[in-house]
Structure 1
């Protein structure tokens, strides 16, 4: 790209040209143009304007990078970015010094706070924070100040006092709006300016307490009481911390007891299964059964109780199924089929207590026939296993049982061959 093209591009982007420059000097009140005393001289077409000493480091950058840098400078911005600097500039559009502008925002926020307009108050406090926080950053970076404005140490102290109040007041808004993290962050910002701000400690303690962070709440409260041991709001939050701590401790104790009871019951169930020689296996993805589970009944804490199994009755000939939530080890298939039959979808009436046969899969992948009057315990004590704590039984009409058994064997052989 040639020098002439670069100059034209920059002039076009920044809306600067020789004709526009002379026109702007003849018009008053144009906010986008510098005074004629400070404005750089623009070569008509050929020369790119020399960079200021403060931007000498950009000499090694490409033209696009330089343009990008210029567009971040408020004077040359074509699109304002939503960041702290531009927001502070918007706030400073009001007449007055940063201190005066921020103080006005603070008063407006206070008025909204008094009538419980928390969100509006927060916005006013935020605008004031942006103005004074920008001034703080300038001083921290050592950026040059406006030579026409003399800022004394007393001025800086006054600004920081207002900024501290803005942070604390905004923390109060966040507390009311339940923005708890923002609340304690504003409290921390106020404490960086004044480590003895009791309100910041109080509001931070309240925010920590609201989300159950007892240790942080207690620490903030204790630090505040060290400064003002008679502070009633802090004493109130201290009492609330004690109460909350008691509630959390009681809840944790109750949860620990519940977990211990569940663990003890699981141990009893495992022992009962082993005592009955019932084989079990757990897969990587056990089914969701809500509150149905393998357990001892009627008393899950008494090892003399009997085992109760969640059971799935499968009807493979019609691709249907039923679920029995609690199948006691002493129950028979007939006990449950008696109330399940007739099946609502069995239009041919093939499924009757006398007209069906029942099977379970064995450990080796075969099938074992289960008598309808045999207790479940006896069926499970053989060469079968309970997978994921669920018993699975196949129920078929007698006329279709032989064909299904043959199909089942072929499928299992194919699976073994594929493995």
Structure 2
């Protein structure tokens, strides 16, 4: 009687199915006289024949390598990693897992198995894989599985099996979607993706406005972002649902401490800003009362914390005004900086302790051998009295303080003619 069988795709048509199958002696294996075939040394990777010939040529006395060893020895480390990456067990980069046409039969088979069942079954499968990864604290992998579960649920094209009970399927999908969002929020929280955490929590709350975990994880992420008011709101809403939730109570306490710190810092900053405003207002009033002209440019010099100020008390109208001042020695390309030149002191008061200058080899710079000049508003020059208070020089209306700095040119008497000529030439050129 002919045998009837379902033919596989790779069936060999040369086989005669009507032939009787060979008989096998009954009895235990030890009664068989024919020995089983020896195990085949199956190579894990294809053998590079050209490389194998090269190795045998370099060492002709060596015994021939078994196929499994030859398959490894005839490839570089990079080639072995590339071939291993095409095996799902060792796969690390899915973009390099395909062949020349970008195909990988094993990977396609595994992916097809993952998509078997209804939409709810597939989504639940990804969710469970995410849970397993999360238990092992593989947050990146867990996040990917939860993302796949969400993608399956939200996919517009339905390519899965039809459920037997649509209502149960609908309930399952909603449960899995909420769990996937709230668990992906945990992964993002552990990965310090705080904004993504808040977005996942918001998605979970749209599905279930009473999800306490969503309020907790959102409040933790918002606290990390230093969004105190939003974090406080999330914690308060969560505690309204579950007043005895220990985790929410702890994060609410941390939010309260941080809120007090932020408010204290803000209050201090406001006080400092208010003080600075009053100091500036009083200084401007003092300069106006003294008829001192000031101007600022787009490129002020770097003076660190130096500037025009009231001393000793910036908030007292009875304080005097001090100016950052630079003594310029243009004929020798040198300078000296004075951080606080009081309006009540004179040029001579400062030059008396600056002189003698260490670089003045010819002894040209002494109080009786120099003259001092300042630029006028019209870019001209006036001679500044060395012994009169600075206030008297500045309040005349002819000079102005530019970028909060007073500039005084100190020139040897013998060179004043050359200096004035240079300044005139510079003015005409500008």
TM-score, normalised to structure 2, is 0.67
CA distance in 2, matches of 1:371, 1:249: 53
Which stretch has the larger CA shift, 95-104 or 187-196? Answer: 95-104
- Quick check: 1:182 aligned with 2:196? yes
- Quick check: 1:135 aligned with 2:120? no
Give 1:310 deviation, angstroms: 0.8
5+ long unaligned stretches in structure 2: 1-8, 12-97, 117-121
Q: Which residue of 1 aligns with 2:61?
A: none
CA distance in 1, matches of 2:111, 2:174: 17
- Quick check: 1:224 aligned with 2:241? no
Q: How does 1:388-399 map to 2 (within 5 A)?
A: 388-399=403-414
CA distance in 2, matches of 1:171, 1:204: 8
Count of residues paired in the alignment = 328
- Quick check: 1:122 aligned with 2:139? yes
Change (3 A) 1:379 1:332: same
Change (3 A) 1:93 1:306: farther
CA contact (8 A) 1:91 1:101 kept: no
Any idea what SS the aligned residue of 2:136 has?
A: helix
Q: Which residue of 1 aligns with 2:77?
A: none
CA contact (8 A) 2:357 2:365 kept: yes
Q: How does 1:180-329 map to 2 (within 5 A)?
A: 180-329=194-343
5+ long unaligned stretches in structure 1: 1-24, 28-74, 81-87, 113-120
TM-score, normalised to structure 1, is 0.69
CA distance in 1, matches of 2:110, 2:207: 22
Which stretch has the larger CA shift, 162-171 or 315-324? Answer: 162-171
CA distance in 2, matches of 1:90, 1:342: 92
Q: Name which of 381, 387, 400 aligns with 2:415.
A: 400
Any idea what SS the aligned residue of 1:400 has?
A: helix
CA distance in 2, matches of 1:152, 1:278: 87
CA distance in 2, matches of 1:348, 1:176: 73
CA distance in 1, matches of 2:384, 2:322: 18
CA contact (8 A) 1:269 1:295 kept: yes
CA distance in 2, matches of 1:90, 1:344: 88
Q: Which runs of 4+ in 1 moved over 6 A?
A: 88-91, 148-151
CA distance in 1, matches of 2:217, 2:275: 40
Any idea what SS the aligned residue of 1:314 has?
A: strand
Give 1:79 deviation, angstroms: 6.4
Q: Which residue of 2 aligns with 1:164?
A: 178
Q: Which residue of 2 aligns with 1:111?
A: 136
Q: Which residue of 1 aligns with 2:71?
A: none
CA contact (8 A) 2:197 2:221 kept: yes
Greater share of residues in helix? 1
CA distance in 2, matches of 1:361, 1:92: 83
CA distance in 1, matches of 2:111, 2:128: 12
Query: In terms of Rg, which structure is larger?
Result: 2
Which stretch has the larger CA shift, 168-177 or 147-156? Answer: 147-156
Change (3 A) 1:26 1:254: same
CA distance in 2, matches of 1:79, 1:190: 37
Any idea what SS the aligned residue of 2:315 has?
A: coil
Give 1:387 deviation, angstroms: 1.3
Change (3 A) 1:334 1:233: same
Which stretch has the larger CA shift, 166-175 or 360-369? Answer: 166-175
Q: Which residue of 1 aligns with 2:429?
A: 414
- Quick check: 1:384 aligned with 2:399? yes
Q: Which residue of 2 aligns with 1:102?
A: 127
CA contact (8 A) 1:102 1:127 kept: no
